[in-house]
A = this chain, B = another copy of it.
Amino acid sequence: MKINIPETNKPRLVILGAGFAGLILARKINPEDYQIVLLDRHNYHTFQPLLYQVATGGLEPGSIAHPLRKFIKRRPWVILRMAEVTGISIENQEISTNIGSLRYDKLILATGSKTNFFGQQHLPEFAMRMKTVPQALDLRSLILQHFEEALLTSDLDQRERLITFVVVGGGPTGVETAGALGELKKHVLPRDYPELDIRRMQIHLIEAGPRVLAGMSAQASEKALKFLKELDVNVWLNAPVKDYDGDTVSFSGTKTIATKTLIWTAGVIGALPEGFPEHAIGRGGRLVVNEFHQSLDFPNIYAVGDIALMQTEKYPNGHPMVAPVAIQQAGNLVNNLRRESQGRALKPFRYFDKGTMATIGRNRAVVDIHRLRFQGFFAWFVWMFVHLMSIVGFRNRMVVFVDWFWNYISFDRALRLIIRPFKK
């Protein structure tokens, strides 16, 4: 079955994924040149950097999710369909999805990345992920459920296992999640559970490499480590995780921790649809592209953002998998498509790195802007401001502001809700 889309005399350009890059492409590509089709499995855009705050009860999903149709409401030429891509036939220039198949003339992959377990067997079954809104909500419910369950048992080992939390991966997401759990332990849970001894709640951050925030400066890593310790987070470095069976995580050779909650933030891999030959795919499951975002093997297929592996002199292993890269690449591709249709020369992509930051609980953050490095309260303030301004939509910015303000003055997390799927 074909997806019900009118045929026109313009070439059809299909964009897969409505993340940071996909949305820019859909909004900015010239509709005179192409019939533009955008596919995403959700009907909303997710502001991924704040997913961990949804998981820890600080924000509602609606504050970081934005309906896709709002983005394109003044662009009725963008044809948007909710669809899960199941594969691509490069030979037939056709995409297959759960709602039917679709021919393309040009294809832009903006599918981002997904959680990578590096071939571990049991982890996919038992570890919690945090790449989508439903996953973050599920984690929120699970954390709270484990506290409720801890009240029910008189077996102290089981109770401790229920209120022990292990975060794997010392990147920004892992550090921020562990920090948020630390804040819950310090300010929220002792008031909520006077029957439990919250001092027994343990938070572990396990990192395979020698430092946390390895992508940032040594100064930022050190300070982040200090901040985490102040929040009572046990940080394990040089500690690769071996296995997790839902009850016990083993790492660093023989070490084990008993826990019912393991949050995996240790790796991502390109979310590449099936159908590409192996020689087109590079490390991390990303599609190899030239500096014009074009697949080396298939010139009518482009890739931007996390899914694109663009190797340059400055980035021999590809660009970092972060939002600014995706945003800048999408912008350059939009311009190149316009240049192409005007018969002008294309411009190669150059990444302008604005800096990196991460927050570790209340009043604490680390910021690297080139040579400028600072940590602590001012860094935290900068982090808040930048993220607030990046959130899409006036309503969402207002609500996030209210929530952050409320969380700050009340030491509270208002959204400690266990909302589970509908049962009739």
Confirm or deny: A198 has a beta carbon within 8 angstroms of a beta carbon on chain B. Answer: no
Contacting residue for A137 out of B396, B414, B422, CB 8 A: B422
Beyond A134-B423, A152-B4, is A414–B402 a contact (Cβ under 8 Å)?
A: no
A99 engages B144 (CB within 8 Å): no
Confirm or deny: A207 has a beta carbon within 8 angstroms of a beta carbon on chain B. Answer: no
Stretch of A62-70, A104-112, A313-321, A352-360 at the chain-chain interface? A62-70
Question: Quick one: which of A35-71 are within 8 Å of B by CB?
Answer: 42-44, 60-63, 65, 67, 69-70
Confirm or deny: A417 has a beta carbon within 8 angstroms of a beta carbon on chain B. Answer: yes
Question: Quick one: which of A393-419 are within 8 Å of B by CB?
Answer: 393-396, 398-399, 402-403, 406, 410, 412, 414-419
A4 engages B153 (CB within 8 Å): yes
Closest approach, in angstroms, between the C-beta of A422 and any C-beta of chain B? 4
Q: A3–B152 Cα gap in the complex (Å)? A: 7
Confirm or deny: A191 has a beta carbon within 8 angstroms of a beta carbon on chain B. Answer: yes
Contacting residue for A81 out of B43, B151, B194, CB 8 A: B151
A12-53 vs B, Cβ < 8 Å mask (1 yes, 0 no): 000000000000000000000000000000111000000000
Confirm or deny: A255 has a beta carbon within 8 angstroms of a beta carbon on chain B. Answer: no
Q: A70–B4 Cα gap in the complex (Å)? A: 50
Confirm or deny: A232 has a beta carbon within 8 angstroms of a beta carbon on chain B. Answer: no
B415 engages A62 (CB within 8 Å): yes
Closest approach, in angstroms, between the C-beta of A277 and any C-beta of chain B? 28
B417 engages A62 (CB within 8 Å): yes
Confirm or deny: A278 has a beta carbon within 8 angstroms of a beta carbon on chain B. Answer: no
Beyond A81-B152, A100-B152, A152-B3, is A406–B394 a contact (Cβ under 8 Å)?
A: yes
Residues of chain B lying within 8 A (CB to CB) of residue A410:
395
A419 engages B65 (CB within 8 Å): yes
A126-166 vs B, Cβ < 8 Å mask (1 yes, 0 no): 00010001110110000010001001111000000000000
Q: A388–B99 Cα gap in the complex (Å)? A: 42
Residues of chain B lying within 8 A (CB to CB) of residue A385:
none
Closest approach, in angstroms, between the C-beta of A407 and any C-beta of chain B? 9
A134 engages B421 (CB within 8 Å): yes
Closest approach, in angstroms, between the C-beta of A183 and any C-beta of chain B? 16
Q: Which residues of A contact B (CB under 8 A)?
A: 3-4, 42-44, 60-63, 65, 67, 69-70, 73, 76, 79, 81-82, 99-100, 124-125, 129, 133-135, 137-138, 144, 148, 151-154, 191-195, 393-396, 398-399, 402-403, 406, 410, 412, 414-424
Task: List 25 A–B pairs whose Cβ atoms lie within 8 Å, in order of A's numbering.
Answer: A42-B418, A44-B416, A44-B418, A44-B419, A60-B62, A60-B63, A61-B419, A62-B417, A65-B417, A67-B192, A67-B414, A67-B416, A69-B193, A76-B195, A81-B151, A82-B148, A100-B152, A129-B424, A133-B417, A133-B419, A395-B402, A395-B412, A395-B414, A396-B414, A398-B402
